[in-house]
């Protein structure tokens, strides 16, 4: 997709969202099915992803780790966002890689230490681009990718999810 194609696709959407702000609010969803043992299968709409315990919390490594899946979602969103920004600005990016890594202290999730955090204590996102872009263009790409990446902004803003539970008694 080139710059003109992207603008022709996004232009009418932007106009509609300016005129009808409520049309821009979309509810995304995910669902899973509790599996055998300590597992949950998530239906991505394209494939079934079976998640389980990370080896550091007692898993055997045969099932996906949801922490890895979170980082994978960040990589996917950041990569798509960077591509869209580069396309929109006319900055040539021939290819590249996106990598996310983060540290977890499993003492928190295993209730070994009440003061240990449950969740990532640090996440790093790195891009390595095949591009002739100058330093200013690269800085703009990074700044706008950080600003418009949904997953990165959700993590950074610390959105507070709500949870409910129901039983079939």
Q: In this predicted structure, what is the pLDDT of residue 47? A: 85
For residue range 100-148, what is the model confidence (pLDDT) as tens digits? Answer: 999 999 999 999 999 999 999 999 999 999 999 999 999 999 999 999 9
Predicted confidence at residue 161, as pLDDT, reads: 92
pLDDT tens, N- to C-terminus, the chain (169 residues): 899 999 999 999 999 999 999 999 998 888 999 999 999 999 888 888 999 999 999 999 999 999 999 999 999 999 999 999 999 999 999 999 999 999 999 999 999 999 999 999 999 999 999 999 999 999 999 999 999 999 999 999 989 999 999 998 7
**Cα dist. 94→9, 19, 123 in Å?**
22, 36, 26
Q: What is the number of residues in the chain?
A: 169
Q: How many other C-beta atoms can be found within 10 angstroms of the C-beta atom of residue 145?
A: 23
Cα Rg, the chain, nearest whole Å: 20
The second-level CATH assignment, the architecture, of 3-157 is: 2-Layer Sandwich (3.30)
Measured in whole angstroms, how far is the alpha carbon of residue 164 from the centre of its chain? Answer: 23
The whole-model pTM stands at 0.91
Given a contact cutoff of 8 angstroms between Cβ atoms, the answer to whether 129 and 93 are in contact is: yes
Q: What is the pLDDT of residue 45?
A: 82
In this prediction, residue 134 carries a pLDDT of: 96
Q: Output the pLDDT for position 148.
A: 98
């Amino acid at each position: 997709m080139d710059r003109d194609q992207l603008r022709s696709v996004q232009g009418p959407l932007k106009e509609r969202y300016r005129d009808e702000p409520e049309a821009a609010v979309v509810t995304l969803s995910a669902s899973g099915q509790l599996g055998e043992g300590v597992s949950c299968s998530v239906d991505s709409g394209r494939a079934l992803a079976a998640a389980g315990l990370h080896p550091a919390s007692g898993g055997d490594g045969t099932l996906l780790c949801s922490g890895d899946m979170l980082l994978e979602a960040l990589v996917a969103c950041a990569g798509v966002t960077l591509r869209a920004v580069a396309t929109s600005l006319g900055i040539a990016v021939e290819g590249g890689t996106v990598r996310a890594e983060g540290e977890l202290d499993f003492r928190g999730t295993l209730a070994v230490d009440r003061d240990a955090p449950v969740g990532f204590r640090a996440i790093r996102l790195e891009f390595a681009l095949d591009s002739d872009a100058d330093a200013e263009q690269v800085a703009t790409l990074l700044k706008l990718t950080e600003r418009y990446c949904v997953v990165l902004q959700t993590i950074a803003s610390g959105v507070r999810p709500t949870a409910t539970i129901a039983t079939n008694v």
